[in-house]
Chains A and B, each alone.
Chain A
Amino acid sequence: MTTAITGKLCTFTYGAKDGSAQITTASVDESASSETIQTLGGSVAVPQGVESTISCDFLYDGDTAGGFYGALKAALDAGGSGTFEITGGDTSAWSGEAIVTSLSAEMPADGAVTCSAELTVSGPVGWADDIVP
């Protein structure tokens, strides 16, 4: 059985935050690297740590005081870390602390102003899931 998760929310807190109304796409990428070494008993994979990034596409909300773009911009300018939480419905959530490494705004002549942001996560990405299959 496939469970579709709706009712998605995304927040980034650095002073202010909730971007759910403007989000078009968000993704959580966790990548583990390893090194394989040869031993007398065969090859062994040694974990080298996990690198996690968050990417997010959204519509520009123009509200620097309480908007999603404003929170990301403030964090980027200050070089500070903020907290993020991405939730799917009432059941699943990814959360953690991250720094903003990229923030862009695109202004096409024939459409809305769109933005993209990349965040690098410090430490593990928290994950809570209460779905009962």
Chain B
Amino acid sequence: MTNPLTVSRNALADALKPIVGTNVYAAPPSQIVTPAAVLMSGDPWAEPVTWTKTQVRWAVTLAAGQIGSNEDAYTQLEQLVWEVVDAVRAAGMAVGTVGGMRSQRYGQAEVAAIELEVRVQVDD
């Protein structure tokens, strides 16, 4: 049985692939190859928004490539974030808050990352 959670997660991953390339992870991996987008459930994950529709939230972590300087990481993330915002909106989803940049560890790699909230309305 298909469900709106899986359908919306896969649709979001498909929308991000033209921007991020093959490094779109539809579920959290143990290792990542940067630049990358990692999809995780938002909080709250799902909540009713109208009598017949539910809003699903996804938290997308965008990680910059492991390149030279902090300036490079900033520039790359800024470009990546704005392209992702455009792609998400073009796919009929809404962008919520974009979190601040932080250092995040994936396996052996420590990368500069931000978290972006995506909201999708699905039929009950």
Contact = CB atoms under 8 A, between A and B. Distances in A.
Interface residues of B, number: 9
B51 A24 contact: yes
B49 interface: yes
A8 B123 CA distance: 14
- Interface of chain B, helix or strand or loop or mixed? strand
B96 A21 contact: no
Interface residues of A, number: 13
B69 interface: no
B96 A24 contact: no
Contacts of B52: 20-21
Interface in A57-80: 58-59
A112 B94 contact: yes
Contacts of A9: 51
A82 B96 CA distance: 37
Interface in A17-33: 20-24
A24 B53 CA distance: 9
A25 B82 CA distance: 35
Contacts of A130: none
A21 B53 contact: yes
Interface string A37-68: 00000000000000000000011000000000
Contacts of A23: 50-51
CB-based closest 5 A-B pairs: A8-B51, A23-B51, A21-B52, A24-B50, A22-B50
Interface of B: 49-53, 94, 96-97, 123
